[in-house]
Amino acid sequence: MDSLSRPPAPGWTPPPSTEADGRALVLFVDIDDAHFAQTSERLRKAYKLVRAQKDREACELIREHHEDLVAVLLDVDMPGSILDGILLTRILRGRVPAMGVPPFARNLPAIDVPIILVTSRTESYADEDMRRYGGDRLMQKPLEIHKLTLALTDWHLARNDP
């Protein structure tokens, strides 16, 4: 078995076969160019990233790539957007009544992937609250690849646990 087809950890879902280079596709939603540059440099070693800076763009990319995504990273605040990361998470998990969803975020395809909420103010949020909103993990900016990989592996292991 070659190195690209071997799972990197127990419970890991292999990357979509459409990814020619073997890296799994992750949507990264963050308006902060400095944070994205700093974080993406490290994350691109293991993941193929698509980036959205605002909520509308995130919704477009989810529609375009929903079948290939293995995770969504959302900035909690999302300045300049109508939706913040928490509300977009609730919409993606179907926890907002249709009449409360802005038109551009309606009828998004279902995605059964981990949603990692990212902030520089982790002390302001409780993990329990993030899970109640539909998020799978709250992580500190800047993201560290080993912590993200562990969070994704944990999610996949929990999904495969009988």
**Is 24-160 in CATH node 3.40.50.2300?**
yes
Gap between the Cα atoms of 154 and 151, Å rounded = 5
Where do the domains of the chain lie? 24-160
pLDDT of residue 17: 46
What are the start-end ranges of the H helices in 49-101?
55-65, 85-92
pLDDT tens, position by position, 58-115: 999 999 999 999 999 999 999 999 999 999 999 999 999 999 999 999 999 989 999 9
Whose tokens are 């909520």? That residue is: 55
Gap between the Cα atoms of 38 and 112, Å rounded = 27
pLDDT tens, position by position, 1-54: 444 555 555 555 554 444 467 788 999 999 999 989 988 888 888 889 999 999
Output DSSP code: residue 78.
Answer: -
Residues 157/114, Cβ–Cβ less than 8 Å = no
Query: Tokens representing 80?
Result: 């300049």
